[in-house]
Structure 1
Amino acid sequence: MEPSQAVDQSPYARPSFKDMEGKPEHSIKTAEEDSIQIVNSDAPLHTWGALGMNFTITAAPISIGSFLALAIGLGGPPFFFYGFLFTGLGQLILCLAAAEIASSRPHLVGPQKYNRLAGYILVVEVSIHQYSSHSKPWHHFLVYVGVCINALVVNLPKVMDWSLSASLVFINGAALFVLITLPVRANPKQSATAVFVSVANNSGWGSAAVVFFLNVLPGLASLGTCDAATHMSEELELPTRDVPWVMVGSALLSYLVAIPTMTIFLFCIVNPEAMFSPVGGQPLIQLVSDGHASRMLTAIPSALIVVGFAIGSWEALISWSRLYWSFSRTNGFPFSNFTERTTDGVPVNALILGTALTIVIGAIQLGSTTALNAVLGGASLCSGFSWIVVFSFRPWLNLGKWGRSLSGFAILWNMWMITWASFPLLLPVTLSSMNWSSLVTVGVVVISFVYYILFYRYRSDEME
């Protein structure tokens, strides 16, 4: 994928900015149609590190197992399997369209005029690296706090590049261990007919089509953060080249790794009923426990899975802190003078704030797991709406002959995903089974617009 032209003329690019260590960015002319490309001097992050971050945030081999409970009553394994294939293909096309934009505008945020509005919508998305709703006891919350603090500590030293690269190896190595040992130990296995043909609908929905499309969650969770690489644009040497490469490479890797992983998981479900009340609330842990039928062999992959989730929190905090830091540079948040500061090239203040917000959001589980799930679902919907805005109001983007088709598909795809992600999975609907994510999303958007209109619109006009 070749970079598009005229990076320096975009409202996303601000030549007056400096990189994270205060050194100026500089431009070079390329032989490709005499175009201008931004080069970050002394870039601290290599492409493989960015790929590791982008892949590990979702950790497809692990996250796909977190939704195995859907494979029991929501259409059975066939709908789970084919639903992932369908959703994954749509997400790959969305990623391709986004990568084309990134090849032309590889920047963390949009035009300054809209930063405060977009910034408040972003706040709810800090919860995106809260990967699962834990049980109610307070000691589980303390473990959650420990994971958050661990992510902060790991991000403080300048070890980011090698840790990101190592995470790519660890996640796939852990998945490989499970994929080798689980088929050997699991007995009895599911038949090919049960995995690929036999549909089982215990959801209460009468339409098979509705049940099929409700299986969008595994695909969205495994391929839902293809844009994370753009948050590291300031730390890559040639963002117009590196960011699109990482986005597409990570999405393809996640999709191709998740398919065989999902297939083996579905064949190795020994006790389907146990998936409704799994150990620790994690269907994947229940799967390895039933399949291995050994405390030792269960302990090893379980530890790898837990560490994998912890590593995912490192990468999510890295990505989010850079995004928050960039919004702060354009005065997109209150107290931006504080959060835009860096220490030795690390946005320490943004990291600390991100950790604090994550802990606060996680504390919701002490009162209501339903409320926590609503916040997490709202974060996903906010992300979908942001994609629609990107592809709707940038007709001047240089996307080539497929540009209109890709952008049009991306808009329709996000509308489609937002619709199905807002449905409750089970009928009849109860207070706990209701999907409240749409209500949370509407609340966040309304508050953001009101604040923008009343307090920030005129200031942003002056900044233009």
Structure 2
Amino acid sequence: MVSMYTDNDKPPAQVSTSSSPNSDDISDDRLGDVSKRYRGTTNDVHDMSVLGKKQVLKRNFNFLTMLGFASTCVASWEGILAYLGFILVDGGTPLLFWGFIACAIGQTAVYASLSEMASISPTAGGQYHWVSEFAPRSYQKLLSYVSGWLTAIGWQMYLASVCFLVGTIIQGLIALNNPMYIYLRWHGSLLSIAIAVFCVPFVTLFASKLPWIEAGLLFIHVVGFLAVVGTMWATTDASSAKVVLLQFYNGGGWPTTGLSSMIGLIAPMAVLVGYDCSVHMSEETRDASSTLPRAIMSSVLLNVTLVFIMVVTICFCLGSPTAAADTVTGYPYIQMLYNATGSYAATNVLTAITVVMFSGCAFSETAASSRQLWSFARDKGVPGHSWLSQVSPRWNVPLPAVIVSLTISALICLINIGSYVALQAITSFGALATLLSYYLTIATFIGYRLRNAKLPARRWSLGSFGMAVNVFALAFLTPLIFFIMWPLVRPVTAQTM
């Protein structure tokens, strides 16, 4: 095991952050090689000093561009369309509606807890750094190391998943438009790898422009949402509320509908995982200790609202679930759009919006996953850390970490050629690993609260509700983590896992 902290290291959470000295008071070795223009505010300079890190990345993101980054990275309403197939197997539209409301409430508490920690220690390391700060000293290294690997695995799997998602959606459109097309797995793998390659210039050559690219994608995120929702309501007759909101469906062969519904929560939950992406860009965010928590919670509020409206739209405009599920495209939502509009052109345009947004999601996830990996390497948590912790002086990005992240994604997508089931089993671990990292982080935070009467100074606080919110978040995550590991259908075989 590689040690990230020496026994003499003092956890930053034990250092007072009540004052913010002028940058002139900080030693040059803490300021790094970044010009003063990109070091951020005095608070940023002070935070980096307290964290014991050099400023090596430019702080280009502000609140608006970070809001766009988080919204793009999670791809909320787009994701609920892509994961529609899970709901059609377990739970049905009632679970999509009620399950999303429950998950939205629980995950809001989770991100409120993470936001407070981000305000205390705005570092690209995120979860593993916070665990190191708040865990008991005797378990500090082990728990931090585990948390770092959970977060790294989660983001690497997420990046591979979204590349595969874009590639196979394009393949689905080909199948819809060309009845003679033969759906082959290696086609999807090559398209997925092409998306990974497509990300390269956006996270290297155009890295300095990425904040404004994210702002533009935020605009498409909202306008595209209006286009899809408006088209669905205009072209379909609403189904009965009694049917879509109360008639749960057990298509997985489970003993009870309740058990089937708990397993089906993977769909509404999936679009609510990943808002820690902003944290991993904290060292590129101006006034991070204030901007990060506001950006995280604002993106949660915005996207929960958008997804809820999309959920209502799907529930009432889906039509026949069987007709949507019986599709050559591999994605019921593409078939749903075609059934609603009856037009190949309209379906292509509306699906293209999701392709654009998922491609933008790939850019964002490349940035988030590479920064997390770079930060973990900086603290010597991964093999090859001396190389992975390097930052390209030309583009001011952790180029080795970017290369490794995209290479991992390309290699994982190749698994689809041999087995689609194996690929899904591997990539689904991304959500589980990320949720486990949240769980471990919040648990150690609760332990720190119990051991210490006063938390370190922070600029965004839950106040007297902090402990209650943390405990509720942990209680919510416990059954979700348990059921997210279950397969969708039974009997479970190598072909149906």
Q: Which TM-score applies when normalising by structure 1?
A: 0.83
Aligned residue number for residue 390 of structure 1: 441
Greater Cα shift, 69-78 or 109-118: 109-118
- Shift of the 105–152 alpha-carbon distance from structure 1 to 2, 3 Å rule, reads same
Report deviation, 1:312: 0.8
Aligned residue number for residue 268 of structure 1: 317
1:200-246, Cα deviation, whole Å (9 max, x unpaired): 32322232322222232222221101211110110111111011011
Matched, 1:108 2:124: yes
Q: Residue 173 of structure 1: SS of its match in structure 2?
A: helix
Q: How many residues align?
A: 422
1:168-179 → structure 2 map (5 Å cutoff): 168-179=218-229
- Aligned partner of 1:314 among 343, 363, 376: 363
Report deviation, 1:122: 4.0
Q: Which runs of 5+ in 2 are unaligned?
A: 1-13, 20-25, 50-54, 133-139, 169-182, 450-454, 456-461
- Aligned partner of 2:197 among 149, 152, 155: 149
- Shift of the 70–330 alpha-carbon distance from structure 1 to 2, 3 Å rule, reads closer
Matched, 1:301 2:350: yes
Paired residues of 2:266 and 2:484 also in contact (CA < 8 A): yes
Q: Residue 280 of structure 1: SS of its match in structure 2?
A: coil
Q: What RMSD, in angstroms, separates the aligned Cα atoms of the two structures?
A: 2.9
Aligned residue number for residue 291 of structure 2: 242
Q: Residue 310 of structure 1: SS of its match in structure 2?
A: helix
Matched, 1:418 2:481: yes
Aligned residue number for residue 448 of structure 1: none
Paired residues of 1:136 and 1:365 also in contact (CA < 8 A): no
Report deviation, 1:362: 1.3
- Shift of the 7–349 alpha-carbon distance from structure 1 to 2, 3 Å rule, reads farther
- Shift of the 118–89 alpha-carbon distance from structure 1 to 2, 3 Å rule, reads closer
Report deviation, 1:124: 2.6
Distance 2:150 2:228 in 1: 38
Q: Residue 66 of structure 2: SS of its match in structure 1?
A: helix
Distance 1:345 1:426 in 2: 47
- Shift of the 257–19 alpha-carbon distance from structure 1 to 2, 3 Å rule, reads farther
Aligned residue number for residue 121 of structure 1: 150
Output the amino acid matched with 1:52: G
- Shift of the 29–151 alpha-carbon distance from structure 1 to 2, 3 Å rule, reads closer
Aligned residue number for residue 61 of structure 1: 77
Paired residues of 1:38 and 1:238 also in contact (CA < 8 A): no
1:126-275 → structure 2 map (5 Å cutoff): 126-129=156-159, 130-131=161-162, 134=168, 136-156=184-204, 157=206, 158-186=208-236, 188-275=237-324
Greater Cα shift, 312-321 or 135-144: 135-144
Greater Cα shift, 407-416 or 158-167: 407-416
Aligned residue number for residue 338 of structure 2: 289
- Shift of the 390–297 alpha-carbon distance from structure 1 to 2, 3 Å rule, reads same
- Shift of the 191–403 alpha-carbon distance from structure 1 to 2, 3 Å rule, reads same
Aligned residue number for residue 97 of structure 1: 113
- Aligned partner of 2:428 among 354, 377, 401: 377
Aligned residue number for residue 454 of structure 1: none
Greater Cα shift, 106-115 or 380-389: 106-115
Report deviation, 1:90: 0.6
- Shift of the 339–264 alpha-carbon distance from structure 1 to 2, 3 Å rule, reads same
